Amino acid sequence: MTKYHELIRQFIGIYGGTEEGIRIFEAPGRINLIGEHIDYNGGHVLPVALEMTNVVIARPNGTDRLNLAATSLPDRVSADIHALENYKNLPWGSYQCGVAYVLQQKGYSIVGCDLLYHGTVPYGAGLSSSASIEVATAVALAKLGGRDELNMVEIALLAQEAENKYVGMKCGIMDQFAAAMAKKNHAIFLDCSTLEYRYVPLELGDYTIVITNTNAPHKLTESQYNQRRAECEQALAVINANGGNYPHLCSMSLDELESFKRCFKEEARVLYRRARHCVTEEARTVESLKALESGDIETFGKLLCEANISIRDDYEATGKELDAVFDIAMGIDGVIGSRMTGGGFGGCNISIVRKDRVEPFKKIMEEEYTKAVGYAPSFYQSNAGEGAREVYLK
């Protein structure tokens, strides 16, 4: 019995009926190799989908209700499809209701249905469990509502709009784009200002990516994420008020940014540092693409380290747990690069580790990290996975 058959069995246990009309949808979590906090600053990013996913088992129910259940949560949610604007503050389910609301506002037909969620993307780890849920929900609701052919870039944009305007998290497009558009064994080099993209084979040779979860959950709506975005907007405003004419921070070179340094008075120096991270991170991301495409994994690893230092010192989006993982990783034999990934303020680190050193890496990291912060990390390894899709059982 596959996991899908087991989930169908659980679905019927909750909602009754038979297997008739049941459909299965799935979307992945992601890591971002490099390009952190610049998706909302007009920069390039390099995300990779994970094989860890969120699955939605779905079936129309012939009513005006969206009924939500999850394998990991005891409480269920029921929402009126004619009053979807009213569910912004649920203990859980607001992401799903937000997606349904945005789809409906954009002309998609939303029908009453029963939904069961099951996820292997760790929640609160910075691996985009929320974007995965949003995109899987969007695909499920759109298809149950009669849309057989979907524009997946549009689905990503609608999912982002739900998170921005309904949930209140001012995220960029990267997470939803990766969940919707990912390709197996590839990263996506995405220009977040134009949505132009290309797939990049992820070939690391003798090395592999180890994800270390600090187990210090970040709750982004309550964190400094929205504050960082506001600071970037303020920095751009200072620059453009002093003779600049830039659409985004990432459309500047470092030399251009430095020519405006005098415009940032003492109390605004923090804004300059935020801008400096964005500008240098954009350059690192472009260099990382070149390194990956030429097979220069060591240069790629060095760029990851530089990115971590920038987001720690200039963007201040790490914290003691992520700082501890980075410092420990860089002292372990066989590691050629390491950095935080995701929104930060907790969550995960990615390290580029020689394949024959993965187990020693985990052992040393667990011992040293536990000693440093008082509790153990978790580890994940995953190949680059597929984007959102409907699953058809044979």
Sequence-ordered list of residues with C-beta below 8 angstroms from that of 74, at least 6 positions apart, any chain: none
Rounded CA gap, 182 and 187, in Å? 7
Residue 347 buriedness (CB in 10 A; 0-12 / 13-18 / 19+): buried
Cα–Cα dist 27/296, whole Å: 31
CA–centroid distance for 239 within its chain:
29
Cross-strand pairs, 380: 211
C-alpha span between 174 and 339 (Å, rounded): 18
The per-type count for the chain, helices as H runs and strands as E runs, is 11, 13
Query: Tokens at residue 297, please?
Result: 């994994």
Backbone angles phi, psi at 316, to 5 degrees: 50, 55
Q: The tokens of 52 are what?
A: 């860890």
Residues 6+ apart with CB under 8 A from 9: none
Which amino acids are annotated catalytic? 175
User: Do residues 64 and 124 touch, judged by C-beta distance below 8 A?
Assistant: no
Are 362 and 379 within 8 A, CB to CB? yes
Backbone φ/ψ region at 309: left (φ over 0), alpha (ψ -120 to 50), beta = alpha
Instruction: Name the token pair of 190.
Output: 């995405």
Give the Cα separation of 26 and 139 in Å (integer): 9
Q: 26 has which bridge partners?
A: 55, 389
CB-based contact 205:356 (threshold 8 Å): no
* Alpha-helical regions (H) of the chain: 3-15, 94-105, 129-144, 152-161, 174-181, 225-241, 254-258, 269-294, 297-313, 320-329, 358-373
Q: Which residues pair with 200 in a beta bridge?
A: 187
